[in-house]
Amino acid sequence: MFAINTLAPYLLTALIGSPQRLIYLSSGLHQGGDPDPGVLQSRQLRWNGSQAYANSKLFDVVLAFAVARLWPHVLSNAVDPGWAPTKMGGASAPGDLEQGVATQVWLAISEDPGAKVSGRYFYRKRTQPAHAAASDVPVQDAFLAACEQLTGVRLPTEVTK
């Protein structure tokens, strides 16, 4: 779960040129995530799929906020698309697929001042409070160091426009 939900976005971000905007998909469940990077690949912990998902989504927000801090000319945000009726969400999910993608599209292309911000967490085109650890620089740095160790690829601290 961590490899797909979090490590892959880290690696793509580290290898990308200099984008104007980055949008990371998270979940409201990130609020229950554990901000200790040691939980990412721990073999000592008993597997808990729900907790692993929450952790991976928390670290997506951590990544978005770290990129916003390190690359100030890039708009980097995290989005909760909501619980939508997909294969993963199930047919009984109360959300709407169109609403689920509307915020990402808006953040990607809109010239609206509300979309031209960075280091924020969004749900339905509105900023929402994110887990406090997402803004914690030592947590961000520990997460980036763990990803660098796992991938052998460092997130550049400066990218040019």
Q: Is 104 helix (H, G, I), strand (E, B) or coil?
A: helix
Q: What is the DSSP string of 24-56?
A: EE--GGGGG----GGGSS-SSSPP-HHHHHHHH
DSSP state of 72: T
Describe the strand order of the beta sheet including 121-123 as a list of residue ranges. 21-25, 75-80, 121-123, 126-127
Active site residues: 53, 57
